[in-house]
Structure 1
Amino acid sequence: MADEFAKGFAILTGGGMVWMTISAWLTTESFEGTQLIAQPPEDPGTYAQFALLLRDVTTWFVIFGVFAFWIGIPVFRELRA
């Protein structure tokens, strides 16, 4: 069980780091305003659109990855045993 926890935690920290980095680059307007969760740029360029897509994919990767390793796999193993 510790192995699944470690894998889920690695997904959480690695994915969170990617998400925070992209959000800091693209959605932090100022240090006094909303940071990390502000609206994305109105007319992003090609690379910014790709980065925003990567941020969304990373969000769902973290959610499903943590769910799979912390809940799904242990429940499946308990039901199988």
Structure 2
Amino acid sequence: MADEFIKGLTLFTLGGLGWITFGGWYRTPSYYDLSQLFGPAQGVNSVYDEIGVLAGDAFFWLMIVGPIVFWVLLPAGRQLRESMADDAAN
């Protein structure tokens, strides 16, 4: 269980750092603006900027989905598989 926890924590940390980095570059027009990191993309003029915005969105979803997979879905699937094996043995 410890390896699933650290994998989920790693994905959460990497996703969060990437999302904050790309969000700070492309989605934060001002330090005093209330919609930091969630506002519309600013100054997207080239393909590289579009890739940066897409990478920020990918890091956000990695931050959300990664821990859910390793902390909820995999242990639940393992528990379900053990329960089904116990039922088949009886």
* C-alpha deviation, 1:44, in angstroms: 3.0
The structure-2 alpha-carbon separation of the partners of 1:62 and 1:39, relative to structure 1 and needing over 3 Å to count, comes to: same
What stretches of structure 2 of length at least 5 have no aligned partner?
83-90
- Residue 6 of structure 2 is matched in structure 1 by 6
| CA distance 1:55–1:43, shift in 2 (3 Å) | closer
Distance 1:7 1:43 in 2: 33
- State percent identity of aligned pairs: 36
- RMSD value over aligned CA atoms? 1.5
Report the alpha carbon displacement of residue 54 of structure 1 after superposing the two structures with TM: 0.9
Give TM-score, length-normalised by structure 1: 0.87
Report SS of the residue matched to 2:48: helix
Query: Taking structure 2 as the reference length, what is the TM-score of the superposition?
Result: 0.79
Does the alignment pair 1:17 with 2:17?
yes
Measured in 2, the distance between the counterparts of 1:76 and 1:60 equals: 21
Superimposed CA distance per residue, residues 37-79 of structure 1 (whole angstroms, 9 cap, x where no aligned partner): 2211265321110001111122222222111100011011111
- Tell me the number of residue pairs that the alignment of Structure 1 and Structure 2 aligns: 81
1:1-81 correspondence to structure 2 within 5 Å: 1-34=1-34, 35-41=36-42, 43-81=44-82
Higher radius of gyration, 1 or 2:
2
Q: Any stretches of 5+ residues in structure 1 without a counterpart?
A: none
Distance 1:47 1:53 in 2: 10
Q: Provide the C-alpha distance between the structure 2 equivalents of 1:67 and 1:49, rounded to a whole number of angstroms.
A: 27
* Bigger RCO of structures 1 and 2 (CA < 8 A, at least 6 apart): 1
2:22, 2:44 → 1: CA distance?
A: 16
